[in-house]
Chains A and B, each alone.
Chain A
Amino acid sequence: MLDRNTIPQSATFRTRGLTKVYGEGAAAVHALRGVDLEIPEGEIVVLLGPSGSGKSTLLNIVGGLDRASDGEAWFQDQNLSEMSDRELTLYRRDHVGFVFQFYNLMPSLTAYENVELVTEIADNPMEVERALELVGLGERMNHFPAQMSGGEQQRVAIARAIAKNPTVLFCDEPTGALDSATGRAVLHVINDVNRELGATVMVVTHAAATAQMAHRVIHFADGQIRTVTENDTRLSPDEIAW
């Protein structure tokens, strides 16, 4: 059992023996096999690994989208494993920003309104305009998703995720559907969000090069952490060889 006092104040997330099993019996798939991890506050953490290695599963559990089969996951001093559905909803609402590979914008709302959707329910949101300026879309805030390119849509998705001033920002393959120039612009935005808002950022990606902008890189394989590397020197997204 983990004593509350043993959790370092600087850790945003801490997991102990985190396990996730899908299915039962012979068909059981072990997505996570006892992961112990600490994510310090304010870092950009990149999770790398082949498909099915467990990185997204980890993201989903600490993001409050999924529950662990066993083990514990802590966000600051709150035990996510013990939260009710309602508490998890509140946790997402107040602390978590998500960015997905396929943007998932509301087609019926403009860029501005998509962001506003979040600021209307968040405790301490930023101005919608500011969120959109942060992602470089101040000019296009009245456009509907159908009137934007993929990169623009993804930037709206990021603006939407950061507008609540999240404690953590989760990005699951944020550049997966984008070309290299657009992808690089999106990474810039993520980098800026981390620097300017101080949010802890966790990025799941296949693109190993992305790791060069991270403070910390975690390699996954077979549901376990293989290596954790801290980058002494981080590259700006412009310097990353795509």
Chain B
Amino acid sequence: MRALDRKLLRDLWRIKGQAAAIAMVVAVGVLLQVMMSGMITSLEQTRATYYERYRLADVFAPVTRAPQKMLDRLADIPGVAAVEGRVQGGALVDMAGQDLPVRAQVLSLPEWRDPWLNDVYISEGQRPRAGRTDEILLLRAFADAHGLGLGDVLSATMYGSKRAFRIVGIAQSPEFLFTTAPGEFVPDDARFAVLWLNADALEAAYDMKGAFNEALLSLERGAELEPVLTAVDALLDRYGGLGAYGLEDQLSNRFLSEEIKGLTATSSAVPPIFMGVAAFLLYIVVSRMVSAEREQIGLIKAFGYTDTEVALHYFKLVVFIALAGALMGCLGGVWAGRGLAGLYQDIYHLPFLVFRVEPSSFATGIFISVLAAMVGGLSVLRQVFALTPAVAMRPPAPADYSRSGAITASLKSWLDQPSRMVLRRVMRNPGRVFGAVLGIAAGMGLSSAQMSVMSGFDEALDTTFSVIDRSDVTVTFFEQMPLKAAFDLAHMPGVIEVEPTRGVSAVLRYGTETYRGSVTGMVDGAHLSRAVDADHRDIPMPASGIVLAKSLADTLGVQAGDTVTVEVLQGRRPTLELRVARIADTLMGAPAYMNIDALNRAMGEPGRISGAFLRIDPDAYRAFFKEIKDVPSVAGVTRKNDARLAMKKLMDEGAGTMRYVMALIAGIITFGIVYNSARISFGEQSRDLASLRVMGFSQGEAAFILLGELALVVLIALPLGVLLGFGLSYLVAAGFSTDLYQIPTGFRADAFGIAGVAVVLAALISGWLVKREIEKVDLVATLKTRE
């Protein structure tokens, strides 16, 4: 080994603590990068594999009732590869010991073959045997949520008749990674079941002999979706086609896509910040090393080593640290990713999730960290080149403060010497101070943005479940009912108030934009479920026209005053041209509201409702549920608190977990930078501090000069951190906002307050740690040695 390389190893050993700290920062950045990009790749690949292996359809075409022969016609559409018809319907499952019946979707399985499309993965048991009408497959997420297993019996009400079914298999399906009851917007494993039955049994139950009510289509490779959708709609129109839609709009798939989108947003924002911090730290450390080793550098050059050789020597040091960090990060990323994969597999109900990292992800991680290190190292190498042997071997001249001195001279009257020293140091080295300020502000911004979004989400929950929806229970009917159904509800035990509502599925169009959703009819003076403006004031339903939620208006790109096309997918299926009267500040879901009478008129079905919002005496819940269970027209009952909890749970899991991790990590970086700044400043000024101590300055007075700089840095960083956090919160909120919920943004004093207090606390702790170092300074040794 060459002598210089031996020196390198010994130097590394000497600065092992600091080197390890920097390598750790690099490692955390690479770890996050590798883990998150790996998780995104793995989720996408797993999704693709899962969809392909179980032949998930590309097109879903619900229809009221179409004869089997139409399947051949559908198969003839150009671009269609395979077609499957099935029967599907709603059911209520009666769970023993539970007040509320659980809503369920029931799907048919071909009796003598595997389904051509939308196959299921049977994790336990087997399919219902041919000819058996009482055997079912049950969705695993639901079975797990309720502790149900093979052989258990479920009692379900389909189309008004109650029957018992035996669970013969537990299934997972790419179609139901997330399950959401119709009309609700929050996925909840426990409150929605999916059952598969033999086709014969289901056709009988729903009166669909020789018919189907949902067609599934797969497309040939490269086939375009839109023409197929149009052709399908044309063919099924006269059988009550409800509008074909692509996989992209399929509910479960849409949730998963949104989750992946949230992960991607986070993964592209955070690792670069770590890398920037690492580059900054490397620069400081190597810079200090080079100035401390001036003599050695001079000596090495005097021996005849070239600039390049000397530069390379220090360069190796930097790259070594970065590479060590990057390798740790890669290994850690794979390790953490594997751990996380198990968690994600559970959350997303995947039958398998192989954590895989693209080799390019490792390469990116290593490349970026080496690049960051090089940026940090390069500016220092310039110093090495500039040193001539003779200069290097003379003691360094005192740092020149004459320029910054002139500026502060004017402040002389109201600043004492220590304050002037602090100020001049800051002004002499604005780059470094700026780096520290930026680092702290970035850390603070990151954590306050994350907290801001978390509290924004809580606000969304509050607004949705306390301000917009003031009911206790929502009742949904199987089909539209006369208004009398609402009066019947009013007579049930404990019911204080009933507010009827009507929802119809519809496609909303404006220009080229389309949204598949529903229109909600609201009664005059509705106050249990309302549309509100930004100040939470009621928006009265106009006699004609439509009120859109802000997210829906944004999706369609409409403003109040524009006219949207609403294609109702039910009843006589009218197409309405409606003027957008107002935009409502709804944070969850993407509803469209109309006056219920106007809606009913448009439908040609006066006095119809599809459900109702109820206020119920808390003491009478049990009695109410007991009675409503037996009302055959009721398709579902939702307790508002269940929905709220499910929403909260959804947010805290999955991409939500990442939010907490990020806030925590941001806090750690912030502390790291604050502490490092204090340490570096201490290292550079220990001599000055010793002089002050010798002159008779107390430890406190000496500490002021050192910590004054830190205080100043923190002071500048605080408002900048707020600004940065405010900006970032918009980005993060946009990244996490989905069709399902919008995270309201705005200045959240609490989030910024907590982040600010955390920064100040970090500064105080760092200050205290460094002050202890001041106490340990050996005055004599420091002053008698040459710098």
* Interface of A toward B, CB cutoff 8 Å: 56, 60, 65-66, 86, 89-94, 96, 98, 100-102, 104-110, 113, 116-118, 120-122, 143-147, 153, 160, 164, 172, 177
Contact B787 A107 (CB under 8 A): no
Contacts of B397 on A, CB cut-off 8 Å? 146
Contacts of B417 on A, CB cut-off 8 Å? 109, 113, 116-117, 120
Contacts of B401 on A, CB cut-off 8 Å? 107-109, 144, 146
Partner of A120, one of B398, B416, B425, B779: B416
Contacts of B698 on A, CB cut-off 8 Å? 86, 89
Contact B783 A146 (CB under 8 A): no
Decide yes or no: A106 and B688 within 8 Å by CB, A56-B784, A60-B780 being known contacts.
yes
Q: Can you give 22 A-B contacts (C-beta < 8 A)?
A: A56-B784, A65-B779, A65-B780, A89-B693, A89-B696, A93-B695, A96-B696, A98-B695, A100-B784, A102-B395, A102-B785, A105-B398, A105-B691, A107-B401, A108-B424, A109-B421, A117-B695, A120-B417, A121-B695, A144-B398, A153-B398, A177-B395
Q: Is B400 an interface residue (CB 8 A)?
A: yes
Contacts of B697 on A, CB cut-off 8 Å? 89, 93, 121
Partner of B687, one of A92, A93, A104, A172: A104
- By size class, the interface of chain B is 35 or more
| Most central of A94, A96, A102, A153 by chain B CB within 10 Å | A102
CB-based nearest B residue for A57: B780
Contact B694 A147 (CB under 8 A): no
Contact A102 B398 (CB under 8 A): no
Contact B783 A104 (CB under 8 A): yes
Return the 5 tightest CB-CB contacts between A and B, nearest first: A93-B696, A146-B400, A145-B398, A107-B398, A92-B696
Alpha-carbon gap, A143 to B400, bound state (A): 10
CB-based nearest A residue for B400: A146
CB distance from A44 to the nearest CB of B (A): 21
CB-based nearest B residue for A59: B780
- Which label, helix, strand, loop or mixed, suits the secondary structure of the B interface? helix
Contact B784 A146 (CB under 8 A): no
CB-based nearest A residue for B426: A108
Contacts of A89 on B, CB cut-off 8 Å? 693, 696-699
CB distance from A35 to the nearest CB of B (A): 17
Contacts of A110 on B, CB cut-off 8 Å? 405
Decide yes or no: A104 and B696 within 8 Å by CB, A65-B780, A153-B398 being known contacts.
no
Contacts of A104 on B, CB cut-off 8 Å? 687-688, 690-691, 694, 783
The digit string for B746-782, where 1 denotes a CB below 8 A from any CB of A, is 0000000000000000000000000000000001100
Decide yes or no: A65 and B400 within 8 Å by CB, A100-B783, A109-B420 being known contacts.
no
Alpha-carbon gap, A229 to B417, bound state (A): 43
The digit string for B413-428, where 1 denotes a CB below 8 A from any CB of A, is 0001110110011001
Contacts of B418 on A, CB cut-off 8 Å? 117
Contact A106 B784 (CB under 8 A): no
CB distance from B34 to the nearest CB of A (A): 44
Known: A89-B693, A106-B688, A144-B405. 17 other contacts (CB 8 A): A86-B698, A89-B699, A91-B696, A96-B696, A100-B784, A102-B783, A102-B787, A104-B687, A107-B401, A107-B688, A108-B405, A108-B420, A109-B424, A143-B402, A144-B398, A144-B400, A160-B695
Alpha-carbon gap, A141 to B317, bound state (A): 43
Contacts of A146 on B, CB cut-off 8 Å? 397-402
Contact B696 A90 (CB under 8 A): yes
Partner of A108, one of B428, B687, B695, B780: B428
Partner of A102, one of B402, B424, B786: B786
CB distance from A169 to the nearest CB of B (A): 13
Contacts of A153 on B, CB cut-off 8 Å? 398
Contact A92 B694 (CB under 8 A): yes
Alpha-carbon gap, A106 to B417, bound state (A): 10
CB-based nearest A residue for B696: A93
Contacts of A122 on B, CB cut-off 8 Å? 696
Contact B694 A65 (CB under 8 A): yes
Q: Which of B374-413 contact A (CB under 8 A)?
A: 395, 397-402, 404-405
CB-based nearest B residue for A63: B694
Alpha-carbon gap, A72 to B696, bound state (A): 22
Alpha-carbon gap, A179 to B785, bound state (A): 19
Alpha-carbon gap, A54 to B416, bound state (A): 38
CB distance from A202 to the nearest CB of B (A): 15
Alpha-carbon gap, A164 to B694, bound state (A): 13
CB distance from A74 to the nearest CB of B (A): 19
CB-based nearest B residue for A118: B695
Partner of B784, one of A91, A101, A118, A145: A101
CB distance from A196 to the nearest CB of B (A): 21
Contacts of B690 on A, CB cut-off 8 Å? 104
Alpha-carbon gap, A40 to B264, bound state (A): 79
CB distance from B682 to the nearest CB of A (A): 16
Q: Which of B664-700 contact A (CB under 8 A)?
A: 687-688, 690-699
Contact A121 B783 (CB under 8 A): no
CB distance from B380 to the nearest CB of A (A): 20
Alpha-carbon gap, A104 to B779, bound state (A): 12
Contacts of B405 on A, CB cut-off 8 Å? 108, 110, 144
Contact A172 B784 (CB under 8 A): yes
Alpha-carbon gap, A184 to B222, bound state (A): 94
Contacts of A60 on B, CB cut-off 8 Å? 780
Alpha-carbon gap, A60 to B778, bound state (A): 11
CB-based nearest A residue for B412: A113
Contacts of B695 on A, CB cut-off 8 Å? 92-93, 98, 117-118, 121, 160
Alpha-carbon gap, A109 to B693, bound state (A): 17
Partner of A106, one of B691, B779, B785, B786: B691
